[in-house]
Amino acid sequence: MSHSQSAPQAGAQPLTRTLARELKDHVDQKAMVHGWLHKKRLMGGMAFILIRDRSGVSQVLIEDKAEQEKIASVQIGSIVRIVGQVVSEPRAPGGVEIHEPAVEVTNPIHEVSPIELDKDISHRPDNLETLFENKVVAVRNLKERSIFKIRSELNRYIRQFLHEQDFTEIQTPKLLAGATEGGAEVFKVSYFEREAVLAQSPQFYKQIMAGSFERVFEIGPTFRAEPSMTSRHMSEITMLDIEMAFIEKHEDVLQFTEKLLYNILTRVYAEHADTLKLLKAPELVIKPNFPRYAVDQIHEMYTKATGESTIGEKDMRPDEERWIVEYAKEHDGCELVFVTEFPVEAMKFYHMVNPDKPNKVLWADLLFRGLEIATCPMREHRYEKLMEQMKNAGLDISHPGYKYYLQAFKYGMPPHGGFGFGIDRLVQKVLGLANVKEATLFPRDMNRLTP
Amino acid sequence: MSHSQSAPQAGAQPLTRTLARELKDHVDQKAMVHGWLHKKRLMGGMAFILIRDRSGVSQVLIEDKAEQEKIASVQIGSIVRIVGQVVSEPRAPGGVEIHEPAVEVTNPIHEVSPIELDKDISHRPDNLETLFENKVVAVRNLKERSIFKIRSELNRYIRQFLHEQDFTEIQTPKLLAGATEGGAEVFKVSYFEREAVLAQSPQFYKQIMAGSFERVFEIGPTFRAEPSMTSRHMSEITMLDIEMAFIEKHEDVLQFTEKLLYNILTRVYAEHADTLKLLKAPELVIKPNFPRYAVDQIHEMYTKATGESTIGEKDMRPDEERWIVEYAKEHDGCELVFVTEFPVEAMKFYHMVNPDKPNKVLWADLLFRGLEIATCPMREHRYEKLMEQMKNAGLDISHPGYKYYLQAFKYGMPPHGGFGFGIDRLVQKVLGLANVKEATLFPRDMNRLTP
């Protein structure tokens, strides 16, 4: 993919900007690069500088003393325009170097950056707060920056895949009249003369909209007031939410989840192999059909393998999640695993009970690299049955958060299902980052509201 | 664009679902449709029903009394599966009709919808609250639904265009440490033991990120606590925000704005002509280069044309905005107009003063169909100059909202500019809707927090 900005050289016309990645197409020509002074090095009277732009870095050799002087007096981060001759140089980044440059510092900087931009930034747990505090500058680091390029690309692949599958993008409100589920974990907003809350999930809205467009998705922020300081929690999360109607069975949800994840993961590994290598992302072990294990089956396998009994537990332990993914990676050749057959004791009111096994729910969890990344259930779409499940769960169906949701069912909902996952968590897992906050531009938690 | 879900008919295999738009490819074959009962009509012993799905409606002729009976006992909105013979029928929607159907009501509905789904819903001002209150069901109306299909498509076109122009998508925080500009109009959030505010705009973050990726955009929610009940105000707005660095001059921002708007508008009119006709959208009058008029010039022209003097005013009056767009539509053949040369008295601290005309700002407003939809300025990128402008504006540069923003400049920012506009307002103007809330799925204002 080349997005050329540069026009062929034409007589007295001023040169247009050439990006670092395009320089190789200008060997033996004059070119202009304009970017951030990324690095400077003096070697035996010769100065080598690197100029950074959005596509990478260009190496420039400055031999002339007067030109060297211009760079000597300014700091890394200064904006510099270089006009010079492009020559082939296998030892330089991209295989080219600019010689005999005319140097112009278009925006001189005199302060020393608090973050080194030409070296790796430590992601050790004890350095993360320093990284986050200086993120405004740290995102200029090539490696740090590439995390968010991958994130942008994953978003794009998801949207493109969903469009090809006839999905409609929706934008649902984040300001709501009142909390429904987990009221303790919602942020309260002073809303004119009354109180509003911030949406924890577009769950109800996506179901409502599946009642119109059948296939809908949203990528947007959600807010969780969980007072947890862990590597997995943030108070603001970017979620992908998907809902699809007129499915025939729960299996349709699982197959669609497989198709989406297989598509975007194999694509990012194919199209960004170099970046993933730079970021030391783990190799991808994947098959089009993800292995499936029932909760009880995993409890048995885990108990047998480790000697630690989990038999009879209604949910999965974090250790078991890690164990089963490792197991599947080795035995099934796939590090994405569905955990199926959750017991009704663990269900949410909007899940559908398995009609063939009334003590099981039509719900599967998707695990990826040791972590649950998505919950993939079929929903209860029958109005009477849904109200019954809500009453059994002790919910007040007259609450505004439920009242409008129930209208969708009262006036006709088809069978549907869907899933959602945090984009932050997906990026974290793809890149093998230890903390979800490393995958987020400006993370938010109990203690951090800046930058 | 066809997204076929149906497989060729194969012996005893159960039929897979065929969408309404695909039926024409199945003439003289058996097909299964599964959707909402959209309309039923009895004519001389024959029943005609319409089945709605995400692609449109399928017409079914039921002659058999027993099959008619199944439909007679349920309400519009019921989920119905039909298996029958597809025949060519020029008078039916899509030119085909299903005959000799076997009818199965898979989810019977017994309540009468509060909104008629097979007729136009009134968008008269006095009916809007009824529409919004019943939106959960109203979005199933074909015409109502198509507003949000156009919205989804416009979002997609914008993203696709920006990707082709090498932009990176960013997701910036909506929870902030404190208000900066217009502190009175921010929503306050109770954030653990302290107070946060909701982002009114990703302005600072997109500039910060232009300092890394050069070209960035975000489509996301913004929040404004304006106590206004007008056809232009909402408290939650979906904004497109764009920023591009290493521009050479203000003109680059204007040309990019033209390219983007020209691309997405001509595309939506070309690819969705039928839908825009159904929605009675105005015809598009556009040229690749939008006419430009200076504020003072418009004041003079308007004064001359109307006899009402606006000469010397620093901003545009709403009447003038409408007038100049009508003027340009007629004289320039374009209903998008740039208003240029705003005086420094009206500038924001982050705008750049025109170096050639120190009493003018490098800032243009884009008008479309009588309304300002975007502000397109070049930014001040020089640290010292920016701080000076902030001090002149009386701002406290130690405020966390400014402190991190200023870091981006302190450590080197290239010349940059950008713009933003409300997706809601764009959709409103494209479709010729009177109120911005009509272009929003679930609008929020002073009085409305539901559905």
Domains in chain B (CATH in brackets) are 20-107 (2.40.50.140), 132-420 (3.30.930.10)
Q: Using the beta-carbon criterion (under 8 Å), do B214 and A54 form an inter-chain contact?
A: yes
Q: Are A51 and A33 in contact (CB under 8 A)?
A: yes
Residue pair B367/B426 in contact (Cβ under 8 Å)? The answer is: no
Q: Which residues of chain B have pLDDT under 70?
A: 1-12, 179-183
Tell if the CB–CB gap between B137 and A407 is shorter than 8 Å: yes
Q: What are phi and psi of A421, to 5 degrees?
A: -150, 160
- Distance separating alpha carbons of residues B55 and B19, to the nearest angstrom: 6
pLDDT band at A401 (very low <50, low <70, confident <90, very high): confident
> Is there a contact between A225 and B192 if contact means CB atoms under 8 Å apart?
yes
Residue A155 sits at the chain B interface (C-beta within 8 Å)? yes
* A130 at B interface, C-beta within 8 A: no
CA distance A343 to B142: 40
Query: In the predicted model, what is the mean pLDDT of chain A?
Result: 94
pTM of the model: 0.95
The percent of residues in chain A predicted with pLDDT above 70, rounded, is: 96
B445, with CB counted inside 10 A (0-12, 13-18, 19+), is buried
Q: Would you call B136 and A441 a contact, using CB atoms and an 8 Å cutoff?
A: no
User: Considering only CB atoms, which chain B residues are within 8 Å of A118?
Assistant: none
Say if CB A39 and CB A60 are below 8 A apart.
no
- pLDDT tens, B366-425? 999 999 999 999 999 999 999 999 999 999 888 888 999 999 999 999 999 999 999 999
pLDDT digits (tens, 9 = 90+) for A53-94: 999 999 999 999 999 999 999 999 999 999 999 999 999 999
Q: H or E element: which one contains A81?
A: strand A79-88
* Interface membership of A404 toward B (CB under 8 Å): yes
Return the higher-pLDDT residue of A329 and B10.
A329
pLDDT, tens digit, 9 for 90 and up, residues A166-186: 999 999 999 999 766 556 799
Beta strands in B234-353 (DSSP E): 236-245, 292-294, 336-340
Chain A: residue nearest B160 by CA? Answer: A156
Cβ atoms of B146 and B371 within 8 Å: the answer is: no
Residue identified by tokens 């969408």 is B19
A146 reaches B (C-beta below 8 A): no
Higher pLDDT, A118 or B413: B413
A191 reaches B (C-beta below 8 A): yes
Mean pLDDT over A219-242 rounds to 95
Nearest residue in B to A198, CA atom: B189
What residue type is assigned to position B228 of the chain?
A: S
For chain A, the residue count is: 451
The pLDDT of residue B181 is 56
In a 3-state reduction of DSSP, which class is residue B218?
strand
Give the dihedral sign, CA A389/A395/A396/A399. Answer: negative
Those residues with Cβ within 8 angstroms of residue B2's Cβ, 6 or more apart along the chain or in another chain: B21, B22
The strand pairing partners of A417, in sequence order, are A244, A378
Quick one: pLDDT at residue B12? 57
Per-residue confidence band for A313, with pLDDT thresholds at 50, 70 and 90:
very high
- Please, are residues A83 and A62 in contact by the beta-carbon 8 Å criterion? no
List Cβ neighbours of A273 (8 Å cut-off, separation of 6 or more): none
Distance CA B31, CA B60 (A): 11
pLDDT of residue A180: 64
- B353: Cβ contacts below 8 Å, ≥ 6 apart: B344, B347, B360, B361, B362, B380
Which has the closest alpha carbon to B34: A379, A416, A417, A251? A416
Tell me which of A112-121, A195-204, B293-302 is least confident: A112-121
In the numeric block, which tokens belong to residue B272?
A: 């969705």
**Sheet of strand B416-422: strand arrangement:** B168-169, B215-223, B236-245, B416-422
pLDDT at B326: 98
Cβ contact, residue pair B145, A191, below 8 Å: no
pLDDT number for residue B6: 47
